[in-house]
Amino acid sequence: MYAVYVLVHGLTLYTYAENWRAYKAQIAAQYSGVHLKVASTPPAFTFGQTNRLPNFLNSFPLGKVPAFQGDDGFCLFESNAIAHYLSTDALRGSTPQASAHILQWVNFADSEIIPPASAWVFPTLGIMQFNKQATEQAKEEVKRMLLVLNQHLNTRTFLVGERVTLADITVVCSLLWIYKQVLEPAFREPYPNVNRWFGTCINQPQFKAVLGEVKLCEKMAQFDAKKFAELQPKKETPSKKEKGGKDAGKQQLQQHHEKKEKKEKKEEKKAASPAEEMDECEAALASEPKTKDPFAHLPKSTFVLDEFKRKYSNEDTLTVALPHFWENFDKEGYSIWYGEYRFPEELAMTFMSCNLITGMFQRLDKLRKNAFASVILFGTNNDSSISGIWVFRGQDLAFSLSEDWQIDYESYNWRKMDVDSEECKTMVKEYFAWEGEFKHVGKPFNQGKVFK
Amino acid sequence: MALKELSSLEKCLGLKKPNKYSTQGEKKVPVLQNNQGSALVGLVTIASHLVCEAQRTELLGDSAEQRAVVQQWLEYRVTRLDGCSKDEVKVILKELNQYLEDKVYMAGNCFTLADALMYYGIHHIVMELAVEEKERYLNVTRWFDHIQHYPGVRHHLPPVVVLRNRVYPSSQH
Ligand SMILES: N[C@@H](CCC(=O)N[C@@H](CS)C(=O)NCC(=O)O)C(=O)O
């Protein structure tokens, strides 16, 4: 079945770009010499989209990144587990004591560094509201944590043993943001051992290959109110909170806001760490280029396309997916289209025809949430045709809604189907199941591709 | 002394065929006679030659600046460290301790010939340090321990035990 994310072969790490969690795995791979493909940009990976696809969720139920897939289909989520898997024995610690110490520092990073570091840094990136008390508290916690590290590194070159291990990789990556954003020279001066160790690590060739040149903070960054204001409206559009249709998403978001307000009131009293309010994933989502949702104006629909796609991917088409489709299809909210390639005489080799189809699917990537299609190549070399059945949100051809979508659609003749007609029922059945007479075509089925 | 050191360096560099060395003069300056008949004289000269022979020139520094710093410490080793008096030892340890506070290696961010030769040259001094002194010169001790554990370096020298948990925690920092 077609979905962008299966196209990538080899050892693949799915992540958004410049994710410090992914860095842990990438640096480990540098040490072990494993060739790791990083899928962080479209078409291989689009954060907020690829990781919501049913196929992706099949392998990585949380839909979170980083996520790792081996060429043998071996899948892992949780960045620390991925880094562990990609490590050498030396990085993991070769004695029970060493590996336990390494685990100790990996957990230290997650529980002692990340919460206060996020609480301090996020407002400076404009991805979290500033709260003086919370920031001051985070600073104190960072100081305490740095003191512990400083004392440990007083007599040691690296955290565990005399070589770089996963402990160093993990703790360095976890400190990356504060060293870049807020640990100005005067603030970090009391921790010379940490500075020495951090500087040495980031300058090892294996770290450098992943991190590039790390520029240490010169002046402590302050709350970025402007950026925060800019990023705010984006939160009104459903992002990761969206589960069902768009409106369902909105409702959830509203609840989220209400919850948040209550929570904030509580927090004024106890000044708890607000890091959990908006994490860097939401931030990454929020800072995605703002594309308006072209389907925003449509009324709510009862037909849940994702649900159908799941059925279609996982269950028998004729006995389960198709009955589900017709039971739930909402002809007010969706339309069905027949599209036929206008230049069949140009289709020479079948593999080229396939590329034509997959290329189109990739260009339409952002349409995935609101469309489904099964497109079939008929015939053989030098005697073929391409046609497909498309299901779109709304009553119009979706292509006119966005410039990005207009590249291919003019190469096709489009015909809107009468949803209640016998013809439509037959075509949907044949195209979705990839079998049947295909009376209108007159060439044998060659292969099919599904956009979902 | 210098001859053992050169043979350890050969092993450290992975050179298979051991060279034959002789010494010159009262200070026993090492000499390497090569096939062409000309001789290489002096520890630093020969050590640098061995590094080139082993095609490990990155150990001489991988940038102009790092190469200069490596040379500086090689020179320090033969002019200051070798044959220094008891009083000078204290000064040297203090200097090195300060220098190494913010560094893991003698030059740049990785192991170089400067680390190897400083380690060989200072071993007999660190060996004799009392626990309290090792703690006083903590940065030297930490660096020393790291280098003696560096793969392939130690060879002819006995390991020096270094305590991680300080016995005299108030003596520094
Ligand atoms: N503990 C996990 C955290 C992973 C995580 O929170 N990933 C976020 C990005 S920072 C994500 O992918 N979120 C997407 C979503 O929640 O939909 C790890 O270290 O891998």
Instruction: Give the residue from A86, A102, A135 where a domain finishes.
Output: A86
Task: Pick the residue from chain A with its C-alpha nearest to B148.
Answer: A162
Provide the residue range defining the domain that includes A127: 89-211
Question: Does residue B142 have a pLDDT over 70?
Answer: yes
Question: Does residue A439 have a pLDDT over 60?
Answer: yes
Ligand 1 centre from A117 Cα, in Å?
16
Question: Does residue B48 have a pLDDT over 70?
Answer: yes
The residue contributing the CA closest to ligand 1 atom 16 is: A64
What number is the average pLDDT over the span B91-112?
Answer: 97
Burial class (CB in 10 A: 0-12, 13-18, 19+), A56: buried
Do B109 and A200 make contact, defined as CB atoms within 8 angstroms?
yes
3-state SS assignment for residue B41: strand
For residue A66, is the peptide bond before it cis, meaning its omega torsion is within 30 degrees of 0? yes
Q: Is the distance from the beta carbon of residue A84 to the nearest atom of ligand 1 less than 6 Å?
A: no
Question: Which of A196-205, A411-420, A421-430 is most confident?
Answer: A196-205
Which residues of chain A lie closer than 8 angstroms to B62, CB-CB?
none
Distance of CA A163 to the CA centre of its chain: 34
One-letter amino acid of A255: Q
What does the CA dihedral A339, A344, A350, A351 come to, rounded to 10 degrees?
A: -70
Question: Does residue A277 have a pLDDT over 80?
Answer: no
Which residues of chain A lie closer than 8 angstroms to B102, CB-CB?
192, 195-196, 199
Assess if residue A297 is contained within a domain: no
Residue written as tokens 């001094």?
B125
Task: Pick the residue from chain B with its C-alpha nearest to A200.
Answer: B109
Q: Return the number of other C-beta atoms located less than 10 Å from residue B79's C-beta.
A: 11
Q: How confident is the model at residue B80 (pLDDT cuts 50, 70, 90)?
A: very high
| Residues A260 and A359 grouped into a single domain | no
The pLDDT of residue A403: 62
Nearest to A359 by CA among A402, A432, A408: A408
Q: Is the distance from the beta carbon of residue A78 to the nearest atom of ligand 1 less than 6 Å?
A: yes
> Residue A34 belongs to a domain with what CATH number?
3.40.30.10
CB-CB contact of A212 with A17 (8 Å): no
Q: How far apart are CA B80 and CA B125, in angstroms?
A: 13
Lowest mean pLDDT among A144-148, A265-269, B140-144, B149-153: A265-269
Q: Count of domains in chain B?
A: 1
The pLDDT of residue B66: 96
Tokens of residue B102, six digits: 């913010």
In this complex, which of A155, A157, A195 lies closest to B102 when CB atoms are compared?
A195
| Residues A50 and A127 grouped into a single domain | no
A236 vs A402: which has the higher pLDDT: A402
The residue contributing the CA closest to ligand 1 atom 2 is: A78
Q: How confident is the model at residue A10 (pLDDT cuts 50, 70, 90)?
A: confident
Distance of CA B118 to the CA centre of its chain: 2
Assess if residue B16 is contained within a domain: yes
A322 vs A400: which has the higher pLDDT: A322
CB-CB contact of A145 with A202 (8 Å): no
Q: How confident is the model at residue A12 (pLDDT cuts 50, 70, 90)?
A: very high
Q: What is the pLDDT of residues A132-147, one digit of tens each?
A: 999 999 999 999 999 9
Q: How confident is the model at residue B167 (pLDDT cuts 50, 70, 90)?
A: confident
Question: Does residue A262 have a pLDDT over 50?
Answer: no
Tokens of residue B141, six digits: 């001790």
What number is the average pLDDT over the span A84-92?
Answer: 96
ipTM of the complex: 0.86
Distance of CA A318 to the CA centre of its chain: 32
| Residues A410 and A324 grouped into a single domain | yes
Q: What is the pLDDT of residues B115-135, one digit of tens each?
A: 999 999 999 999 999 999 999
Question: Does residue A256 have a pLDDT over 60?
Answer: no
Q: How far apart are CA A242 and CA A304, in angstroms?
A: 12
Q: How confident is the model at residue A258 (pLDDT cuts 50, 70, 90)?
A: very low
> Residue A155 belongs to a domain with what CATH number?
1.20.1050.10
What number is the average pLDDT over the span A331-340?
Answer: 92
Q: How confident is the model at residue A391 (pLDDT cuts 50, 70, 90)?
A: very high
The pLDDT of residue A248: 36
Nearest to A30 by CA among A127, A161, A172, A153: A172
Q: How far apart are CA A164 and CA B123, in angstroms?
A: 24
The pLDDT of residue A135: 96
Identify the residue among B146, B150, B153, B162 best suited for mutation to test binding to A, counting A beta carbons within 10 A and taking the highest.
B146
Assess if residue B155 is contained within a domain: no
**CB contact A198 to B (< 8 Å):** no
The CA distance from A156 to the nearest CA of chain B, in Å, is: 6
Contacts of A414 (CB under 8 A, 6+ apart): A337, A338, A339, A397
Most ligand 1 atoms within 8 A of CB, residue of A64, A241, A243, A277 to mutate:
A64
Lowest mean pLDDT among A310-314, A360-364, B42-46: A360-364
Task: Pick the residue from chain A with its C-alpha nearest to B111.
Answer: A204
Sheet harboring A67-69: ordered strands across? A37-39, A12-14, A67-69, A75-77
| Residues A331 and A405 grouped into a single domain | yes
Ligand 1 centre from B16 Cα, in Å?
51
Instruction: Give the residue from A65, A86, A107 where a domain finishes.
Output: A86
The pLDDT of residue A389: 95
Assess if residue A37 is contained within a domain: yes
Ligand 1 centre from A65 Cα, in Å?
5
B131 vs A299: which has the higher pLDDT: B131
Burial class (CB in 10 A: 0-12, 13-18, 19+), B9: buried
Assess if residue A123 is contained within a domain: yes
Question: Does residue B75 have a pLDDT over 50?
Answer: yes
Assess if residue B166 is contained within a domain: no
| Residues A74 and A115 grouped into a single domain | no
Do A157 and B102 make contact, defined as CB atoms within 8 angstroms?
no
Q: Maximum CA pair distance of chain A? A: 81
The pLDDT of residue A284: 63
Instruction: Give the residue from A181, A211, A241 where a domain finishes.
Output: A211
CB-CB contact of B96 with B140 (8 Å): yes
Give φ, ψ of B104 to 5 degrees: -95, -35
The pLDDT of residue A61: 95
Question: Does residue B152 have a pLDDT over 70?
Answer: yes
Provide the residue range defining the domain that includes B77: 2-148
Q: Tell me how far CA of residue A60 lies from CA of A76, A81, A159, B17, in angstroms.
A: 7, 13, 32, 55
Ligand 1 centre from A176 Cα, in Å?
17
Nearest to A54 by CA among A362, A246, A311: A311
Q: Over pLDDT 70: what percentage of chain B?
A: 97
Strand A37-39, strand A12-14: pairing: parallel
Question: Does residue A274 have a pLDDT over 70?
Answer: no
Question: Does residue A240 have a pLDDT over 50?
Answer: no
The pLDDT of residue B2: 83
Question: Does residue A368 have a pLDDT over 50?
Answer: yes
The pLDDT of residue A285: 61
Which helix (H) or strand (E) element contains residue A114?
Answer: helix A114-124
Counting from 1 in the atom list of ligand 1, the atom nearest the Cα of A15 is 12
Burial class (CB in 10 A: 0-12, 13-18, 19+), A172: buried
The pLDDT of residue A263: 42
Q: How confident is the model at residue A298 (pLDDT cuts 50, 70, 90)?
A: confident
What number is the average pLDDT over the span A239-264?
Answer: 38
Assess if residue B15 is contained within a domain: yes
Give φ, ψ of A313 to 5 degrees: -75, -35
- The whole-chain average pLDDT of chain A stands at 84
> Residue B30 belongs to a domain with what CATH number?
1.20.1050.10
Q: How far apart are CA A58 and CA A394, in angstroms?
A: 28
Assess if residue B173 is contained within a domain: no
Number of helices (H), then strands (E), in chain A: 19, 9
The pLDDT of residue A234: 46
The pLDDT of residue A398: 80
A357 vs B52: which has the higher pLDDT: B52
Q: How confident is the model at residue A287 (pLDDT cuts 50, 70, 90)?
A: low
Q: Is the distance from the beta carbon of residue A288 to the nearest atom of ligand 1 less than 6 Å?
A: no
Q: Return the number of other C-beta atoms located less than 10 Å from residue B59's C-beta.
A: 24
3-state SS assignment for residue A190: coil
Q: How confident is the model at residue A404 (pLDDT cuts 50, 70, 90)?
A: low
Question: Does residue A214 have a pLDDT over 50?
Answer: yes
Q: Count of domains in chain A?
A: 4
Q: How confident is the model at residue B70 (pLDDT cuts 50, 70, 90)?
A: very high
The pLDDT of residue A236: 43
Q: How far apart are CA B31 and CA A58, in angstroms?
A: 69
Q: Over pLDDT 90: what percentage of chain A?
A: 61
Assess if residue A376 is contained within a domain: yes
Contacts of B20 (CB under 8 A, 6+ apart): B33
